[in-house]
Amino acid sequence: MDTSLTTSVPDAAEMGPPGWRSMVDALEQALRAGLDPEADPPRSRVTAEGCELLLMPSRMPGWTGAKLITLAEDNPGRGLPLVQGIYVLFEADGGTPTAILDGAALTAVRTPAVSALAVRHLATKPVERVALLGTGVQGAAHSYALLATTGAARLDVIGRTPERVAALARSLGGPDAGVRPAGIEAVAKADLVICTTGSATPLFAGDAVRPDAVVVAIGSHTPDTREVDTALAARSSVVVESRQSALRENGDVVLPLAEGAIAESDLLTLADVVTGRVVLPTDRPRLFTGTGMPWQDLVAAAALARPTTIMRTDHR
């Protein structure tokens, strides 16, 4: 095997508007070309001493690959990353290894790119004001991605720790760049609300969200945790990465379903929205919620490793 396969993943701050738009375009093209997220296998998990190991494989014409990552809850207290791993990309014809990428870095850019794709298709008007909840890796990465792709004039940063909120706001340019620390009341004023916290309980009252707003919730990853409440789910058009993955592991969907506030038939898929098979009503909020899927890693890895050839994929 070629030992020079390592492909760098740019930091979210280094992507810039062209890089983010290119990544979003690659994801959009894959869905328009017929990639079916419902065909993705579920992620498999192995619990080991001190960590959990996750395997996320996928395939599409021209490419196949898998992400192998560990989650170690005690690591941050020891000065180590919570998430570590690798992504291996193969050419489908012959199975030749093509690239090895940092799995955690890949996740840090593909997740905001998926969110930006959702916003591209869910927003009914230009996004001028964003409320961001969360100051971790995904909070920062989403800030760069959404500012780059929406051109929003204001970003309100909301978090539990004032020092971290202030630090993130400064890193994004502070008041001169329209970025300010804010309280939860900023949600009611936002065109776009981004939730990146991993909270086990809802972050705000769903009836505070404007009827023309878009909400993106990507922080919770288990069926018994959620970032948004039942009230928001019940009054919104709910868009998911795939119905199967949402019903399996997304508490933002599973919990309101269990309460009878929404039905499985209410769940719309991002693929259907992107391809125009579904047209969303304009009289209610639009909620996109996801937990991350293997196809997203594959498209992003191929786009980074072979930016000129990813555009040749044809799923028909």
Average pLDDT, the chain: 93
Q: Report how many helices (DSSP H) and strands (DSSP E) the chain contains, helices first.
A: 9, 13
Angle between helix axes 103-122 and 12-32 (nearest 10 degrees) is 60
Each residue's pLDDT tens digit, 61-103: 999 999 999 999 899 899 998 889 999 999 999 999 999 999 9
Give me the pLDDT at residue 82, please. Answer: 87
Question: Contact, 249 vs 285, CB < 8 A?
Answer: no
3 pLDDT higher than 70: no
Do 101 and 9 meet the contact criterion of CB atoms below 8 Å apart? Answer: yes
Q: Is 232 exposed, middle or buried (0-12, 13-18, 19+ CB in 10 A)?
A: buried
Average confidence (pLDDT) over 26-37: 97
How far is residue 41's CA from residue 59's CA, in Å, rounded to a whole number?
A: 10
Superfamily of domain 12-106+295-312: ornithine cyclodeaminase, domain 1 (3.30.1780.10)
Whole-number pLDDT of residue 164: 96
* List of residues 6+ apart from 254 with CB closer than 8 A: 223, 224, 246, 247
Percentage of the chain modeled with pLDDT above 90: 91
Question: What does the pLDDT average to over 97-121?
Answer: 96
Region 235-239: mean pLDDT is 98
pLDDT per residue as tens digits for the range 121-180: 999 999 999 999 999 999 999 999 999 999 999 999 999 999 999 999 999 999 999 999
**Strand, coil or helix: 247:** helix
Determine the pLDDT at residue 306.
79
What is the reported pLDDT for 2?
55
Distance CA 198, CA 221 (A): 7
Hey, what are 306's tokens? 């072979």
Domain 112-292 has CATH 3.30.930.10: no
In the predicted structure, residue 309 carries a pLDDT above the cut 50: no
CA angle 272, 270, 108 (to 5 degrees): 155
DSSP state of 221: -
> What are the domain boundaries of the chain?
12-106+295-312, 112-292
Residue 8 has pLDDT above 80, yes or no: yes
